[in-house]
Amino acid sequence: MSSEESTSTMSQVALERFGAYQKARQLFDLVVTDIDTLKTNPLCYRLVSQQIGSADSICANIEEGYGRLSRIEYARFLDIARGSARETRGRYERMKHWLAPEIIRQRVELVDEIIAILTSSIGTLKIGRAHV
């Protein structure tokens, strides 16, 4: 294994250990499962598409930010991921007409955990930037 491959593998391992990323991937899988029964309801077509998109955006922005070389850019992408998490959370609350209250409660709780980790990480990155 070359030095470049080793660095890339280590970076991927570190990304996969990041708590917000682990939880975001878990959330995405749950979103796919939750909306499976809604995808045939014409009233839910747009909600289904948007919920998948916003949950995917959490993961995608963490991944893209993690690949950036600057703390400033990484913090910016984590902030975008946090915005997508808030969007996903809000949509879960609005989907109360189609999903069981317990599912909504559990998903909102998971999204709140993601938001808290992202908020803390963004703060740490910004504090680190102030000392550079």
**How much is the pLDDT for 127?**
84
Looking at residue 69, what DSSP letter applies? S
Which residues, in sequence order, are CB contacts of 132 under 8 Å at separation 6+? 71
Q: Where residue 129 falls among pLDDT bands split at 50, 70, 90?
A: low
Summarised one tens digit per residue, pLDDT across range 1-30 is 454 544 455 578 888 899 999 999 999 999
Q: Are 105 and 85 in contact (CB under 8 A)?
A: no
Q: What is the pTM of this model?
A: 0.87
Tell me which of 3-7, 81-85, 108-112, 117-121 is least confident.
Answer: 3-7
Q: Where residue 57 falls among pLDDT bands split at 50, 70, 90?
A: very high
Q: Are 56 and 81 in contact (CB under 8 A)?
A: no
Rounded distance, CA 24 to CA 39, Å? Answer: 21
Give the number of other CB atoms < 10 A from CB of residue 120. 13
Three-point CA angle 96, 48, 31, nearest 5° = 75
**How much is the pLDDT for 126?**
86
**How much is the pLDDT for 117?**
96
